[in-house]
Amino acid sequence: MIKIWSELPVARVKEQVADIATLVWLLFWGNIVWQLFQFLASFAQAGRTIRGGGQGMIQSGIDVGESLAGLPFVGPGIRNIVRDAFAGAGRPLSDFGSEFEQFIVAVAAVLALLLALVTLGPWLYRYLPWRWGRLRRVRAAHRVIRTAHDLDDRQIERALAMRAVTHLDYATLLEFTPDPFGDWTYGRFERLARAELASVGLRP
């Protein structure tokens, strides 16, 4: 079974609340960021309209030129003149429209990204290392304590007690036993083992 949350109720509820709050926060601000991008990017329609007008002008020059090409003697010359004249006027409009559209989309993307960084960055900066650390700790502890050994319960309890008295701070030890050193010295390992398990989010 894959461990996602701690086994202890208080620790598990704390992790689940943090996970749900993070999901809600991401959905809320993600939706606002997307709406902002869509709103700003909608102004790119002006650029598409300008580009379409320029391309329409170029096409009109081609159409008019082709219709004049049938005139005797001067038809081909007039066709080229008309086509070049319309293209000369339409191509700058088309290019400007394309550049304007790209500029608006780029500005929309940058502003949306800035909003995402401001609203989501600080939250994820704190949440992800904390959550990843707890997840790694409970999974590693579960593997070492519950599955990666062939010892009996008494031996495991003794190993956990030894780890508790060597690495947990005194205040934490006193939450589980009034006499941590006495428990270790006289082989009363149960409370010390419980303290060690609690420190990694596992039940006794």
pLDDT in tens, 74-122: 656 666 676 777 667 777 777 788 888 889 999 999 999 999 999 999 9
Is the C-alpha dihedral spanning 22, 26, 27, 29 positive or negative? positive
- How far apart CA 175 and CA 165 sit, in angstroms, is 13
Residue 90 near residue 56 (C-beta atoms within 8 A):
yes
Average of pLDDT values for 54-70? 70
> How many CB atoms within 10 Å of residue 156?
16
Distance CA 195, CA 201 (A): 10
Q: Which two tokens stand for residue 106?
A: 């780029």
3-state secondary structure the chain: CCCCCCCCHHHHHHHHHHHHHHHHHHHHHHHHHHHHHHHHHCCHHHHHHHHHHHHHHHHHHHHHHHHHCCCCCCHHHHHHHHHHHHHHHHHHHHHHHHHHHHHHHHHHHHHHHHHHHHHHHHHHHHHHHHHHHHHHHHHHHHHHHHHCCCCCHHHHHHHHHHHHHHHCCHHHHHHHCCCHHHHHHCCCCHHHHHHHHHHCCCCC
CA distances from 170 to 19, 125, 178, 180, 184 (A): 31, 31, 10, 8, 14
Q: What is the mean pLDDT of residues 149-167?
A: 87
Q: pLDDT value at position 79?
A: 65
The Cα–Cα gap between 74 and 69 comes to 8
Cβ proximity of 193 and 164 under 8 Å: yes
Mean pLDDT of the chain: 86
Integer Cα distance of 184 and 85 in angstroms: 97
- What pLDDT sits at residue 15? 94
pLDDT of residue 98: 83
Residue range 186-201, pLDDT digits in tens: 999 999 999 999 999 8
